Each structure stands twice: as C-alpha cells, then as structure tokens.
Structure 1
Amino acid sequence: MPIEHKDQVSCAVKDQHYFHLTNGRHPQEFLNQKSNEWNLSLHNKEYATKMDEHDPIGDMRKHFHYPKLNDLPNVDKSRVNPDDECTYLCGQSLGLMPKRAENYVLSSMNDWAKIAVYGHFLGSNPWAKCDYPCIPQMSLLVGGHMKEVGVMNQLSTNLHFMMMSFYQPKGNRYKILYEERAFPSDQYAINSQIELRGYDPNESKVIVKSREGETYIRTKDILDVLKREGESIALILIGGVHYYTGQLFDIETITRAAHEQGCYIGWDLAHAVGNIPLKLHEWNVDFAVWCTYKYLNSGAGCIGGLFIHSNHFQSKLFKLNGWWGNRDSTRFAMADGKESVLIDTELGANGYRISNPSIHQCATLAASLEVFEEVGIEQLRSKSIILTQYLQYLLDTEINNDSVCTFKTLTPTDPRQRGAQISIRPNEITAQQLHDEMEKTGVVIDIRDDIIRIAPAPLYNSFYDVYKFITILKEAIITIRALRLKH
C-alpha cells in the first residue's frame, strides 16, 4: 500500500509528442494542427473522440469512480439515460474518488480489526507513520525537499500555524497584503491573526485589486504595490490559483519581489497543487499550505499539506508545539518539561505537527498520490493546457454570441496565466438559472455568486466531456430562453 519514492520521470506515452508544446506555441495552434491533420472540424463530436483516442494519459480515467445519473440529485430522469455517467467538471471543488482508495482504507481498517493497538507500529502501513508514505510524492508535486513538506491537519489550520510563525509585525512593518476576493477562510485567518497581535484589521491590510473593467490582477500591479508599500508589509499571502477567477499567479516573480522588499510571503495552493507544476524550494517561497481534496482527489475534508523552506529551519520563529512534532525516536518517551520538548522538536515541516494524523485520510491521499506518481505533473499540465483551451475555444465560438448567450470570461485567456478552470458570468440569464438547468441533465459544475466555474481535470476528464458540456450548455440556454418567452 505505501508509496515508495522514485525519481520523477515522464510516463511512457503512445504518442510522445502529442502534448508537447514547443517554442512557446499556443495550444490553439496545436488544436488547429490536429483539426487539419485529421480533416475534422473542432466543432464536431468526431474531433473530440479522436483527441481522446490519441490521449496518452486518457486511460487514467478508468482509475476513478464516475457518478451515474441515476445516483445524482436534481437530475430529470425523463430526459436522460439513468445508467449514463454524469459530465463532471467540478474538480476545483471536489475531485473524483480513485477506485484504489477503497482498498487502501480497508487495509487500514483490517489492521485495526485484527491487531488493534499494535497497528500503530505493525501492519500494512503502521499508523504512527501513516503520513510518511505520502510525503515523497507530495514533495515532487510542490517542488520541495522532503524535510520541507508535511502532511497534517487541514488547510486553514495549517495557515494559522504558518502565520503564527511568519506574521511578526514590528514597528511600521505590520500589514498583510493579499488579493481581492481571496478565499473567505484566508480572509478570516488574516483578520484573526491581525487582531491577535493587537492591530486593527481595517488599518493593517493591503488588498491588491484588478484594474477597473478588468477581472484579474496584473502581476505588474502587484509589483507596483510592493514597491510603493513594501516597507509597511510584514507578510504577503496570495492564492496560487485564484479560486474565483482561475487566475494562475506568477509565484516565482512575486516571491522574488516580496523578498526584495523584506517581506515574508506565503501561498495558499488549494487550487494549485495537483493542477500546475510547482517549484517552491527553487522559488524560495517562505511557506505554503494546501488542501488535498480538490485536484488531489483525496476526499472531502481530507488531510492538508504544508511547506516551509529549509532557509527557516534554524530560524527562531515562534510556533505552536505538540507532542507529535517531536522526533520519532523520542516521541513516545513522554518527555516532561518545556525545555526538553523544545530541544527535541523535529527539524523541518514535521516539527509543525501537533497530533497524530488520521489513518483513513492518509490512506485515501496515498491512493490518489499513487496515480499522480504514475502520470507526472508535467504531463498532466500539458494536457490541461490543451484541454482547457479546447473549452475556451468552444465557449467563444459556440456560445458567446448574440444568438445564444453572451457572457464575460473572468479567467485570463493566456493559457500560462490560468489553471484547469474557466469562470464565466452569463449576461442574458443568471448563473443560477444556467446551473439548475444543467444539473437536470447530469452536468456537474460549480456556481459562486453570479459566475459558473468549469474545471476539466486532466486526470479524468476527456475532450468528449468538454464537447458534451458545450452541447448541453447550448441546449440549456435555449430551454431557459423558451421558458422566459412563454412567461
């Protein structure tokens, strides 16, 4: 069951050049090239199925449970075949269940049933170290050294732990910079930490916003704010991929600029890990936190992840301590007294552990990470860039016009500035109307306020999924308009 660490290598593919974009070629050029090569229009079903036939990692789909229409709520069974699979484009909210996860969990449960307390140190994956098998592949996914990466707690808990260490306001340097519409939990943590230090949140935050009339934030504008206000900023916290717009921030450039201004910088990678390649150690990121139930497919509310750069291993940063943060060799010695506990704290990310991890959560995470190890994040990103561009192209050419339904795209059109997500705001009809009508036909997408978030996850989504989504979307719009005219 446990994942063994291997060097990251590209998986064997049946068409090695298929997802290889050379010389900065735009993915639309690749899509057009295949269209010309096969003499098939991008608007045809045959084109989508042909793309899937040549997908070198398309077989990974069979490793996931795909919900059937009969099992989903709000599906109009009179309009669909209940035995068909749904069209699932909601990986940015919850990833699908890897089929092997059940066996991983059952293995831990069997150890509990058969050897009880001895399972802490014996069995298929001893519970006292059940998080350890997840760390090698997790380290590869985030681009960190293994000592820099920990699997523990949940995202917001880890964020508070990291801010306890890295938000240390002093004198005129007391503000926290973050992006507009940051995920609410991040904003709650920011306000809490500011108040904990005795500051007023209304006076201690710098919020970087998009320009008037634009939907995402320019890197230049972030850098300009840093140059202008950097001396007053103690900490920067930004989401690597923005949950609302799908924008992928330039983590390396922004991190470098933050350090030039003497600021600590952390990243919320909830929508980035398992979505894009990351090089946290190389980029000198101070810390990062993430969940594992979105693109990492570990299950709702599953265990989180944490990165702390080795530059800070010897720093005298304040942190909260717990017995599980002690070294393995002496943790069960039950050392008494403040001094002995502090001296024996594990060096690196694992020193931030407070309590022992859940065996069930580590089992589902390990099952998913095994799939990532078989594919490789670079290969996934290559497919994702093309798959998301295919979605963007069909949205623009099939839907966004006066005869169907105009909408505003919030996500950058530059593939290098977005993850596996496109967010749109429909004009003539509401996002809620569109979401509800799509749900009746078994399309699973996400709604946030007045926008629809569409996320084709490259591990299990196909080009046909995207084609089918566009077809149903157009039909849904026609249905809504007809109902409106009737009333």
Structure 2
Amino acid sequence: MTSMFLQDLESLRDEARILDSKYETYSELFEFPTLESMGLTEKNLELNPKTKVNYLCGNSLGLMPSQTRDYINKELNAWAARGVESHFRNEITTNWVDVDLPLVPKIAKIVGAKNSEIAIMGTLTMNLNSLLISFYNPNLINGRTKILFEKGAFPSDYYALYNLVRLKGLNPDEILIQLSPEDGEYNLRTEKIIEYLENEGDKIALVCFSGIQYYSGQFFEIEKITKKSHEMGCIVGWDLAHAAGNIDLKLHDWDIDFGVWCNYKYLNSGPGAIGSIFINERFIKGDDKTGMARLSGWWGNDANNRFEMIEKFNPIQSALGFRQSNPSVLDVASLNSSLDIFEKCGGIEKLREKSIKLTSFLEKCLKKSKYYKSISESLKSNNKFPHFIIITPEDFNQRGAQLSLLFKPFDKDIMMKVYKYLNDRGTICDERKPNVIRLGPTPLYNTFTDCVDCVQLLEECMNQLIEV
C-alpha cells in the first residue's frame, strides 16, 4: 500500500475508535461465523481460528441472534410436551393458534403501520404474487392496463409481474413498463418517475417499485412516488425486502396500498424465513361479497368460527384476513427473537441514526483508496486502469445500510477477484452480477472499525492486481 493511504488508514482508525465509543454496537447479542467455521484457517495461519469474520452482509442474510436457539427450543419443548395440544394449551409460550399475533405490533412499529395493516405470512415472492392477484385489475375498456416498475428489478419480482400479466390473459411485452436511469447514471431519478406518471398515468393500473433497489442500493422516494401515483389513479405496491428493518419506514403515513418483505435480511430471522405484508386499512374491510377478492385460506377466516368447518368465508377485518395457512411456529419463534432485539436496542429510529453514520464512514474510507473514482471521473477515463465507483446515491436520504461498488474495466473480472480476496481473509460481503460487490454495514452488530478493516483488504487486493 502507498504511504499516503497508510497515513489515511491510521487517521481513519483513530476516527473509527472515537465513533465506536460514541455509537453502541450490540454484537454480543449475535452469533458470528469464525475463520474456523468458515474453513479459512489454512489461509490465515497467523490468526486465531476463533477470530470472528468481518460480516458486512446483513443486506443479504442477517446474523443469527444468540437467543434464537432458546426461542426455537421453547417451541420444540412445547411440541414434545403436548404435541397437537400446544395449539390451544401451550403452557411454555403462546398457543400456536395465535403464535404470530404478538409479533404484529412489533413489526408494525418498525415499518410505521397500524397493527390492523400487518400480517406475518408466507415468503417474499409468494406474498407478492398473492397480493398482485388482488391489486392488479387491468381495465381493457378505459385502457388502464400497464404496470410500471424499474429496469433491473430483482429477477423474482420481474418473473412475478411477467407471469401475472399472462395469468390475466395479456401480453407482457405490451403491459410491462420499465424505467431506466439516464445514460451515465446508475440511479433512477424521482423526477423521471413523476414525469412518466404525469404523461402516461391514465394508462397505468399498477406501480410496483422496490423500496430499496437491490443492485444499486437506491432508496426510492416512496412517499412522493406514491402520492403522484394516487393522483393519477394508480394502485401502488412496494417490495420492501431491502428496506424493512433498514430504513425508518412510515408505510401508513405514506399511504401506500400494499407492501411485502422478507424478514431475513436486516430483520435477522433466518434463511428463507417467514415474510410479512402491509395492506392499507382502506382494503381490509368487508365480507366475502363486499371485501377485496383474494387468494384465501382458513387462517384468513374469522378465528371465532375457523374450526367449525363451515363453507362460508368470513374474512378477518384486518390484514390477517389475507393469510391462507397457519404459520410455521419455528419460523415465527425465530422472527420473534429478532424483533425483541430491535426493541432491546432502542428501535429502528435509534439504529437508523447509527446506520447513517456507519455507511457514510464506510464511504469516506472507500474514497481514500487510490482505486476509487467518481462516476464522472470514470466516464472520462479510458477505463483500462482497474478501479471502482460507488453507484449507491451519496445522499443518505436516498440509501440505507449498503454501498454498491462497481468494478472496472469489465473485461478483467476484477469484481470476482476482489470478492474472493476479501472472503478468503474473513470479510464477508456479497457479489451481484454484473461487476458489483455490495457492502452492508449493519448498525446492530457492525462497527466503524469493521469499515476500515474491509477497505484495507480491498486496497491490498487492488495493489496485487496492479502488480500482476
């Protein structure tokens, strides 16, 4: 490393120590992989095998809270003690018939919703598909049939929207409208979305963007986009997978129509964990004749007569009425563990305050690298010299706990070499093709020192690539 970067590194470490003393970290509440558990001891012989990895991947899968074992074991004990009877006579935790209900107000607080607007159910894309069936109602008579979303949306969302249109008997090539950033830019400007809505809104039935774009890390201006969409008569839904537990959301106040998210990223509830939905209170009332048509099951039916086995659907007058099956008890226990940690650590507002500082500090560290270029500098260069740009917005109001690094030149496969170098040395992040490494410093368990350690390894790797 250059002497200039070493000087910067020493200064950054001093700053990190000060910030770490100011902003509390709750790493002791989580289980960290180690060099040994990751199979990295032979590549790091000078380090203790029990050394914790530098985990910067909470935007993909959050770490396991230590107490989750206890939460799950209690349900296993209830299963062992009373079997099926624990649905109604669970003396250890909550009767399984209502196991998800205590979690509803906890999640509602995190996403800014009324309790009646939240249900815990399914998984992310299953929930998206379920709600799309209800909320996408193309009108062939007045021509309001289009679906507006972003180019480069998470593929699962694209597949869901594409096949939704086919299920409605329409041609996806004619119905799906995807907006892209301007040439030379990596984020979709709100103004462009607003302008499109103003010009074409009367043809759009559904607007369905990501809350935070998984690849770029852009946090869309949910409130502004929702308001304009409603002015133009459109239904608005949001995939909040990368936003829930990350951003201080205000779903009710922002008046979105529906939202879906997984709970395994920033909400740390385990791989493939149970998901959640938000449905605006406007849509949760009515019986089987007057209420919103939906994909249904017995867990959405009035709990007072659910077990009478009658052939009449009487939906619960809340988002719970959109549930279909009884939830996995073990999944709910895992989610409950994480939600209790959120409360213990001061809630989403306090964590968001640290998150802004943490991500900004990581950005500051990255910009000290001689291999960093701004987007405009990269466009002006010949791109033969290996470097990276940050494609996540600089404004902290337009991003969460993620920075996406795009590596150039594209023909050198630099990204995978950097990713492997970091991973081999115990810094865990993730890669997203094409050519992006995502770094996700999570306020619950990451420190400012973690940011410095990551950038030091990144600089070492780039130096080696240049030497080769």
The equivalent of 2:406 in structure 1 is 425
Choose the corresponding residue for 2:323, options 332, 343, 353.
353
Match status 1:279 vs 2:254: no
Task: Give the Cα separation in 2 of the matches to 1:230 and 1:466.
Answer: 43
2:376 maps to none
C-alpha separation in 2, matches of 1:208 and 1:448: 20
Matched, 1:312 2:283: yes
1:29-428 aligned within 5 A: 43-55=11-23, 57-58=24-25, 60-73=26-39, 76-78=43-45, 80-123=47-90, 124-171=93-140, 172-314=143-285, 316-335=291-310, 337=311, 340-341=312-313, 344-374=314-344, 375-401=346-372, 406-428=387-409
The change in CA–CA distance for 1:137 and 1:214 in structure 2 (over 3 A counts) is same
Name the SS of the counterpart of 2:441 in structure 1: coil
Shift in alpha-carbon separation, 1:138–1:235, aligned structure 2, 3 A: same
Range that drifts further, 469-478 or 287-296: 469-478
Cα separation, 2, equivalents of 1:162 and 1:79: 53
What TM-score do the two structures reach when normalised by structure 2?
A: 0.90
Q: Secondary structure at the match of 1:329?
A: coil
Counterpart of 1:451, as a letter, is V
Q: Distance in 1 between matches of 2:372 and 2:360?
A: 18
How far the C-alpha of 1:405 sits from its partner, in A, is 5.1
Tell me whether 46-55 or 224-233 shows the greater mean CA deviation: 46-55
Specify every segment of 5 or more residues in structure 1 that has no aligned partner in the other structure, as ranges. Answer: 1-39
Could you tell me which residue of structure 2 aligns to residue 464 of structure 1?
Answer: 449
Q: Find the aligned partners of 2:47 and 2:423 in 1 and give their Cα distance.
A: 11
Relative distance call for 1:323 and 1:259 in structure 2 (3 A) is same
SS at match of 2:389: strand
Q: What amino acid sits opposite 2:328 in the alignment?
A: S
Per-residue Cα deviation, 1:136-190 (whole angstroms, up to 9, x for no partner): 1100111111011000000111101111111000120111000111011100110
Q: Tell me which residue corresponds to 2:382.
A: none
The one-letter amino acid of 1:373's match is E
Q: 1:439 aligns with which of 420, 423, 429?
A: 423
Work out the number of aligned pairs and report it. Answer: 437
- The amino acid across from 1:165 in the alignment is S
1:453 aligned residue: 438
Change (3 A) 1:150 1:79: same
CA drift at 1:318? 1.9
Q: 1:415 to 1:201 in 2, by over 3 A?
A: same
For residue 400 of structure 1, report the CA deviation from its aligned partner.
3.3
Residue segments in structure 2 that go unaligned for 5+ positions in a row = 1-7, 374-384
Distance apart, 1:401 and its partner CA:
4.5
Distance 1:79 1:204 in 2: 58
The normalised TM-score by structure 1 is 0.87
* Partner SS state of residue 318, structure 1: coil
- Return structure 1 stretches of 4+ with deviation > 6 angstroms: none
Shift of 1:42: 7.7
